Amino acid sequence: MNSETCERLYNAYYMRVFSYVMTMAGDRQTSEEITQEAFFRAFSKSAEFRNESDEVTWLCAIAKNCFVDETRRRNKTGPIPEELPASGRSIEQQVTDKDSSFRIHAALHTMDEPYREVFELRIFGELSFSQIGTIFGKTENWARVTYHRARLKLQERMDEHE
């Protein structure tokens, strides 16, 4: 893969891959490191890309593998930090956002797979149903139905805890 192609892929898909990794890692610094590693692996092994899926789907699959590798490595060496770096928002916004975010993530945590991952890929990873289906080796329609069911389950859990 030439440098122009690498640069095009990086510029086009960095934020989508980063968002996807952020849904799994929950930590900005770790997500940035994993995303960088995913692009490095993709560019190093570009000959393995067979054009059987979209480029972003291929990159997200590599990122998922990088996340799994990093999680295993960290579990051997120590805990993953719990807090995200502070932003420039007011305390009120942070508390409200953290509370809402916590409730959503707590409800997501109790969901069974593949509902949880499909929901996270769609909402946080901003992937299309076609791309989600490809990641799971299923159809676009399967991804749509699974996302719809996940959304309903999440809404039920959110209503229960209010």
* Domain containing residue 66: 1-85
Q: What are 113-144's pLDDT values in tens digits?
A: 888 888 888 877 778 888 888 888 989 899 88
* Domain count within the chain: 2
Q: What are 54-90's pLDDT values in tens digits?
A: 778 888 888 888 888 888 887 775 554 444 444 454 4
Check residue 1 and give its pLDDT: 58
DSSP string for residues in 45-113: TGGG--SSS-HHHHHHHHHHHHHHHHHHHHHHH-PPP-PPPP-SS-HHHHHHHHHHHHHHHHHHHTSPT
Please say which residue of 85, 118, 153 terminates a domain. Answer: 85
CATH code at position 58: 1.10.1740.10
| Helix or strand holding residue 118 (H, E) | helix 115-123
Please say which residue of 85, 104, 127 terminates a domain. Answer: 85
